[in-house]
Structure formats: C-alpha cells, structure tokens
C-alpha cells in the first residue's frame, strides 16, 4: 500500500502534486512518501508485536539521510554492509548500538571502525572473517560482538541475482557446520557470540521459504541459546512487494498506480499478516529477541522516479518513448529485468494504448525502463512516474555517461523537502585532476 494516487486528474503523493515537484526540482527526480515509509514500519512492528523484536532497516535499499532519520525516530536500527553505511547511519541520528554490520568482505579498517563505534554485532560470513575480527579486537582490546550468518540452503528470491540462501551463493556458513564454528568462536577471548543470523534472498513473494528456513534453523538456534547464551535470532529481510499490480484482464485502467482503487488488497500471496501469522508461532517459544532486516518492504513502494518524455521515435515496428531517466538513475530493469509500473502524471481517460519501449538516453541497448509496455498516447514534454522505485533505486545510481545523479525529495502531506540536491557538472569531476 502506498500514498500515490490520482486526485482530480493528477498524480499526487500524499497531499502534494507530483507535476509541480517535477517542474520545481526538474527531472529525473526521486520522490519519497514519508507517510508510506512510516506506515510500513509500523505495520511490520504491529504484526510481530507478540515477539521481542528489533527492526534493523537494511539501508542499502535506500540510504538517504532523511529516510534514515525518519526511520531512526520510529525506533529502527540499521542493517549495514559497509563502513560507509555505518557512517551514514550515525550521521542520520542512528545509534551504533542498534546497527549490525553484514557482508562477506569486511576489511580490517571497516572492522576497526565498527568496533570503535560500538555496534550491536558483526554478522560474520566465514571462519576467516571470524579470525580477522578476533585479531582486530585483540589489538583494540575490545570484545567483538558477533552473530554468525548461517546459510540454511533454501531456495528463495525473485531473481538469480537476489537469491542468497543456498550454497550456490557466496553468503554465510553452512548450517551443518554452524555448531562447530560457534564452539571454536567461544574459545576466542576477544569474541562474544551474541546472536545468529540468516537472510535467504530478496523479493520473496510467498511465506514458504521463510518458514522452511526458520524451521531448518530452529534446532540449531535452540542449541546455541542453551550452550552459548546467544541473545537474538535475526531472520533477515527479503519480504517482497507488489511491483506489477494485478489488474483484471481487459481492465481499462491498466495505467493506474497499483493500489489506487484496490486499497487494502494485495496481488501478492505474501502479506505481512501472513508472514507474522506463520513465523510468530515458530519463533515465540524461543523466548529470544528477533531481529528483522527488511529493506525493500519499507521503502520500495514509498518512492517513485519522475521523468519527462523527451522524444517519440518509431523504428520498424517498434515504438520508443525516450525519457530523461536512464539505467544510471534506475538500474533495476537493466540489471534484474525487473518490472516497474509506469504511469502518466496526468490521468488519462480509459482507452486503447500502444505498446512501447520506454528507454533512456544512455548509450547501451540495455538502457530501458520498460519493454513492450502498453501506455496511453504520449507527447514530448509529458511527465511519467516510474512506480515502486524507492528501494534499490537511488542507491544503485551511478554517473555513467557523465550524467549527474537525480535530486531526491521527501514529501510529508502538503510539504516537500529537497533531501538531496541534483548533482552538478562540478560534482562529476570532484576529486579528479588533469
Ligand atoms: C539486502 C539485505 C537485506 C534486505 O533485503 P530486502 O530484500 O531489501 O528486504 C537484509 N539482510 C541482509 C543481510 C541483506 O544483505
């Protein structure tokens, strides 16, 4: 569910007109809805309230300081994957004691930085990393809190590039060996084992993989709790969202933002209520704190990318809509073949549409936002919204083709705040010399 809908013929975010934002701040432009962020956060916490939970928002999904600070105020901690992310979390007002540090390749400098900050825990991905953390902790004479990331060898995730919980991926330690590795860790004097972690993939749209992974790890978690007195079990992130609204076939409103008319309904077999209903009975008997690391679920549908139609072009039988946003601004279609709904900012009367490819100006055939998409008649200068672009959108943006990265705006009701200015040409060469 989200706060983007048509109101008197114009697409609005909460109480703010999006075309007005496009004109004021230019395009391409990321726009985030504060109310949507907050409601996703609250819904998740409410659904899991029978458990003692700590939400650690996976900030690689969207790490704008304004987004982080709003989430920190709601009580969220952060799941980080680099020292840079830890730095951002603190700059946004997050507490180090609510930050966990994940990732398979932590450098010595990153480990030292995190130890000095006093983070909640390192989520350790290998025995070699455990040894390295121990060595760094010894030199700082500070015990390092760790949780091992256990790979449950369960298939999940919406795409090969976002499946993480099988042995075909680089993540975690094999679950069959976990107990032995915890035993070894317990003998390291500068290591304190505080938890256990899993994360099986991203954009998971059924509850079964979560349940299967939790069930597989439960005996291990119980044993770790009893033998090493670990305090928490992190069940990771990965909750999927609706990218492609389920419209009845032949529906005349194929271009409407998903959820606009069907508020409260979801096209996914996975709802947060089902997630909670399935997992709470499994987890509650542990009597442990449960960490959650959602990224996409919190921010995905809370953001859109606004873009302007630059040219219309016909090549053979193909129609192209060339817009001013490109793969460097939103990589997901090119990288994951992902679907993003695209809608005009001015509501159109129901009617026939034309199949078009929506493409950007970057010199790559892979530079597209949508392929063979039915869109209403468009003209140069029209504005479009690429929906559900709040997660893995700006954070994956680059300066490829020397394109300044877009501005970001946070909307709250009728107010809008520029939370990152558009990059300038000077930004493009900052740090370089000739
Ligand atoms: C990316 C990641 C997440 C968040 O995944 P989402 O699909 O965005 O919820 C959580 N935990 C870890 C360890 C991750 O790498």
Q: Which atom of ligand 1 is nearest to the CA of 296?
A: 8
| Burial (0-12, 13-18, 19+ Cβ within 10 Å), 431 | exposed
Cα-Cα-Cα-Cα dihedral sign, residues 87, 335, 423, 321: negative
pLDDT in tens, 344-353: 999 988 777 8
238 lines ligand 1 (CB under 6 A): yes
**Closest by CA position to 370, among listed 322, 311, 406:** 322
Note the helical H segments in 74-126.
Answer: 83-91, 108-117
pLDDT, tens digit (0-9, with 9 covering 90-100), for 387-414: 999 999 999 999 999 999 999 999 999 9
Comparing 78-82, 160-164, 199-203, 411-415, which segment has the lowest mean pLDDT? Answer: 160-164
Q: What is the DSSP letter of 259?
A: T
241 Cβ below 6 A of ligand 1: no
Sign of CA dihedral 341, 203, 412, 79: negative
Residue ranges, comma separated, of all CATH 2.40.37.10 domains in the chain are 301-429
Residue 363 is a catalytic residue: yes
Which CATH architecture describes the domain 301-429? Beta Barrel (2.40)
CA 312, CA 307: separation in Å to the nearest integer?
14
Q: Cα separation of 20 and 242, whole Å?
A: 26
* DSSP 3-state of 178: helix
**Mean predicted confidence (pLDDT) in 161-187:** 85
Burial 395-422, CB ≥16 within 10 A → b, else e? bbbeeeeebbbbbbbbbbeeebeebbeb
Give the position, in ligand 1's atom list, of the atom nearest the Cα of 61: 8
Quick one: pLDDT at residue 266?
Answer: 52
Q: Which residues contact 46 (CB under 8 A, 6 or more apart)?
A: none
360 lines ligand 1 (CB under 6 A): no
The pTM assigned to this predicted structure is 0.94
pLDDT in tens, 303-339: 999 999 999 999 999 999 999 999 999 999 999 999 9
CATH 3.20.20.10 range(s) for the chain read 34-295
What 3-state DSSP class applies to 91? helix
Expressed in angstroms and rounded, the spacing between residue 179 Cα and the centre of ligand 1 is 24
pLDDT digits (tens, 9 = 90+) for 259-310: 434 444 455 789 999 999 999 999 999 999 999 999 999 999 999 999 999 9
Give the class (CATH, top level) of 34-295: alpha beta
Q: Is the CB of 22 under 6 A from ligand 1?
A: no
Indicate if the pLDDT at residue 252 is higher than 50: no
Say what the pLDDT of residue 254 is.
52
Q: Furthest-apart CA pair in the chain: how many Å?
A: 70
């Amino acid at each position: 569910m989200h706060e983007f809908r048509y109101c008197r013929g114009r697409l609005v975010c909460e109480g703010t007109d999006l075309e007005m934002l496009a004109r004021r701040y230019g395009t391409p432009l990321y726009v985030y809805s504060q109310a949507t962020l907050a409601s996703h956060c609250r819904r998740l916490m409410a659904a899991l309230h029978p458990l003692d939970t700590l939400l650690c928002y996976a900030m690689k999904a969207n790490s704008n300081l304004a987004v982080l600070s709003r989430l920190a105020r709601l009580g969220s901690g952060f799941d980080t994957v680099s020292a840079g992310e830890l730095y951002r979390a603190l700059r946004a007002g997050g507490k180090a004691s609510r930050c966990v540090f994940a990732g398979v390749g932590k450098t010595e400098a990153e480990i030292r930085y995190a130890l000095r900050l006093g983070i909640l825990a390192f989520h350790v991905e290998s025995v070699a990393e455990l040894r390295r953390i121990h060595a760094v902790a010894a030199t700082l004479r500070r015990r390092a809190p760790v949780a091992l990331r256990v790979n449950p060898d369960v298939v999940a995730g919406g795409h090969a590039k976002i499946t993480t919980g099988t042995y075909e991926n680089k993540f975690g330690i094999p679950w069959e060996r976990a107990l032995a590795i915890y035993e070894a860790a317990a003998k390291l004097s500068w290591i304190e084992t505080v938890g256990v972690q899993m994360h099986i993939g991203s954009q998971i749209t059924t509850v079964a993989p979560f349940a299967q992974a939790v069930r597989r790890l439960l005996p291990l978690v119980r044993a770790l709790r009893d033998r090493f007195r670990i305090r928490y079990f992190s069940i990771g992130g990965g909750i999927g969202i609706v990218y492609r609204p389920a419209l009845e076939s032949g529906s005349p409103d194929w271009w409407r933002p998903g959820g606009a008319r069907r508020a409260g309904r979801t096209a996914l077999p996975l709802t947060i209520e089902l997630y909670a209903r399935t997992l709470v009975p499994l987890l509650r008997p542990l009597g442990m704190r449960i960490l959650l690391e959602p990224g996409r679920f919190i921010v995905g549908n809370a953001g859109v990318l606004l873009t302007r139609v630059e040219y219309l072009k016909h090549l053979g039988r193909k129609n192209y809509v060339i817009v001013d946003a490109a793969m460097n601004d939103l990589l997901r279609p090119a990288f994951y073949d992902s679907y993003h709904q695209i809608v005009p900012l001015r509501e159109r009367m129901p009617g026939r549409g034309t199949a078009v490819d929506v493409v950007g100006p970057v010199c790559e055939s892979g530079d597209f936002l949508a392929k063979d998409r039915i869109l209403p008649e468009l003209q140069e200068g029209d504005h479009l919204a690429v929906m559900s672009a709040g997660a893995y959108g700006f954070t994956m943006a680059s300066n490829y083709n020397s394109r300044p990265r877009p501005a970001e705006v946070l909307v709250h009701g009728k107010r809008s705040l520029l939370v990152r200015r558009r990059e300038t040409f000077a930004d493009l060469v900052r740090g370089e010399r000739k």
